[in-house]
């Protein structure tokens, strides 16, 4: 028996969250630090949901995959505490949970996601946890020819980039298949469709939207002052439509003890995903102040945080700063389209679009550890 292994205290890591960032962090830590750490996962939800697949649900496709967190925790040797993080006391390196426990930590990873609120007083704001229920009736009305005009509207701070385009494209194609007419407009604050993916992707997407009869109003700061009316600045333009479908506004998680404030600001992080101004506190994913909210980005941030924590725990790992790269699958065209770009200064460079995947497994959330892990689970379950 190796006595030094039993005598060396393990680094106690608590990960708050049950989404992409949290699971990727847990898997990365297992790979990078192994027995040097023990991991506790704090999550108020029972399952991990594959959120990007939810855009297909209102169109009659199968429901997005869900994975029980208890099974994943058992599988990867993580202790699951089924409750929410309530507050952090960084002076004592402890945190409180919603069910009244106090947990100590050597390092904590905050992966609690963004909060969603409607940006507009009228229209339907999508909530992906019940997208089918929200949009199924609208799609039926499009199929029946009862809805002739729809505006898909994004708030001024762009939330996740893909779903507005996917929903608009799938709606247009459903109308075409059913031989009904629907005029679709997308109003987006971006200066080009999917601007974060760079010029090549934006131009190809603009062509695809045009071919599908979808009008795009870019650099649009929209409001919905009354039902069926979208006001767009600059230019004082007004759209009158049968239905308005809006993306929600995203806010930070507002956790006592954390920067971001009670107003729901995002958690400020440095390039190693350390929370600025706090020791041994890391954050990843939609909860952070990185402006692009995206599953693949959440995973890359989780990997950066895990690298820094593994090095702290004495693992022979060189921590790498988070270097954002976007890879996505856009649904709604004849075939899925594979998009990629590097992100520099908030915009995509090395922009590429193809109908062949350039990464494996070819899935929507590109995550170094989580993607192959889920693929293996899916294969076992099949």
Ligand X SMILES: Cc1cc2nc3c(=O)[nH]c(=O)nc-3n(C[C@H](O)[C@H](O)[C@H](O)COP(=O)(O)OP(=O)(O)OC[C@H]3O[C@@H](n4cnc5c(N)ncnc54)[C@H](O)[C@@H]3O)c2cc1C
Is 295 a binder of ligand X (CB under 6 A)? yes
Q: Does 112 bind ligand X (CB under 6 A)?
A: yes
Q: Which is nearer to ligand X, 82 or 228 (CB)?
A: 82
Contact 122, 226 (CB under 8 A): yes
Q: How far apart are CA 305 and CA 317, in angstroms?
A: 12
User: Which residues, numbered 334-373, are part of the site for ligand X (CB under 6 A)?
Assistant: 364-365
> Site size for ligand X, by CB under 6 A?
36
Round to whole Å and give the CA distance between 246 and 250: 12
**Measured distance CA(58)–CA(81) in Å, rounded:** 33
Q: Are 160 and 293 in contact (CB under 8 A)?
A: yes
Count Cβ atoms below 10 Å from residue 108 Cβ, excluding itself.
29
Site membership for ligand X, residue 328 (CB under 6 A): yes
3-state secondary structure of 299: helix
Q: Which residue's CB is nearer to ligand X, number 52 or number 307?
A: 52
Among 11, 13, 14, 16, binds ligand X (CB under 6 A): 16
Rounded least distance, CB 330 to ligand X, Å: 8
The tokens of 373 are what? Answer: 């892990």
Of 12 and 228, which has the nearer Cβ to ligand X? Answer: 12
Distance CA 234, CA 189 (A): 11
Q: Nearest 10 degrees: CA dihedral of 83, 85, 89, 95?
A: 30
Beta carbon of residue 85, minimum distance to ligand X (angstroms, whole number): 4
Site for ligand X in 165-194 (CB under 6 A): none
259 binding ligand X? (CB under 6 A)? no
CA distance 301 to 272: 8
Asked whether the beta carbons of 111 and 306 are under 8 A apart, the reply is: no
Residue closer to ligand X by CB (options 111, 308) is 111
Q: Respond yes or no on whether the N-terminal peptide bond of residue 361 is cis (omega within 30° of 0).
A: yes
Q: Does 19 contact ligand X by CB under 6 A? A: yes
Q: How far is the CB of 97 from ligand X (least distance, A)?
A: 8
Q: Which two tokens stand for residue 132?
A: 């089918």
Which of 13, 14, 20, 73 forms a contact with ligand X (CB under 6 A)? 20
What is the smallest separation between the CB atom of 286 and ligand X, expressed in angstroms? 4
How far apart are CB 221 and ligand X at their closest, in Å?
22
Do residues 212 and 172 lie in contact, with contact meaning Cβ atoms separated by under 8 Å?
yes
Binding flag, residue 281, ligand X (CB under 6 A): no
- Contact letters (x/-) for ligand X, 223-252, by CB under 6 A? ------------------------------
- Compute the least distance from the CB of residue 200 to ligand X, in Å: 18
Q: By CB under 6 A, is residue 286 in contact with ligand X?
A: yes
Radius of gyration of the chain, Cα coordinates, nearest whole angstrom: 22
Compose the 27-46 pattern: x for residues touching ligand X by CB under 6 A, - for all others: ---------------xxxx-
Tell me which residue of 176, 128, 133, 197 sits closest to 333, measured CA to CA. 176
Point out which residues bind ligand X (CB under 6 A): 16-22, 42-45, 51-52, 54-55, 84-85, 111-113, 128, 160, 162-163, 253, 285-287, 293-296, 298, 328, 364-365
């Amino acid at each position: 028996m190796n006595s030094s292994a039993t005598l060396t205290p393990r680094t106690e890591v608590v990960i708050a969250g049950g989404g992409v960032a949290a699971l990727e962090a847990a898997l990365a830590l297992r790979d990078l630090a192994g027995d040097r750490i023990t991991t506790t996962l704090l999550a108020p939800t029972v399952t991990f949901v594959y959120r990007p697949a939810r855009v297909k649900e209102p169109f009659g496709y199968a429901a997005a995959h869900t994975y029980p967190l208890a099974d994943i925790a058992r599988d990867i040797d993580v202790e699951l505490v089924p409750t929410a993080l309530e507050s952090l006391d960084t002076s004592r390196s402890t945190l409180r949970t919603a069910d009244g426990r106090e947990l100590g930590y050597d390092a904590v990873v905050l992966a609690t996601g963004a909060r969603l609120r409607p940006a507009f007083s009228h229209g339907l704001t999508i909530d992906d946890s019940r997208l089918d229920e929200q949009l199924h009736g609208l799609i039926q009305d499009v199929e029946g020819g009862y809805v002739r005009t729809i505006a898909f509207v994004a708030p001024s701070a762009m939330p996740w980039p893909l779903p507005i385009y996917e929903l608009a494209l799938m709606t247009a194609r459903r109308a075409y298949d059913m031989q009904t007419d629907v005029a679709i407009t997308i109003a987006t604050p971006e200066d080009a469709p999917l601007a974060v993916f760079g010029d090549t992707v934006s131009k190809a997407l603009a062509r695809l939207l045009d071919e599908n009869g979808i009008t795009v109003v870019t650099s649009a700061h929209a409001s919905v002052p009354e039902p069926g009316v979208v006001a767009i600045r600059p230019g004082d333009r007004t759209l009158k439509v049968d239905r308005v479908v809006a993306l929600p506004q995203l806010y930070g998680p507002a956790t006592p003890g954390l920067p971001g404030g009670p107003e729901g600001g995002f958690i400020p992080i440095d390039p190693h995903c350390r929370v600025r101004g706090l020791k041994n506190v890391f954050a990843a994913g939609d909860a952070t102040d990185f402006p692009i909210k995206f599953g693949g980005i959440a995973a890359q941030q989780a990997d950066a945080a895990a690298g820094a924590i593994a090095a702290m725990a004495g693992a022979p790992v060189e921590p790498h700063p988070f270097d954002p790269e976007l890879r996505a699958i856009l649904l709604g065209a004849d075939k899925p389209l594979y998009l990629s770009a590097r992100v520099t200064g908030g915009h995509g460079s090395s922009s590429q679009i193809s109908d062949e995947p350039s990464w494996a497994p070819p899935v929507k959330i590109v995550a170094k550890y989580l993607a192959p892990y889920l693929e293996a689970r899916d294969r076992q379950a099949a």
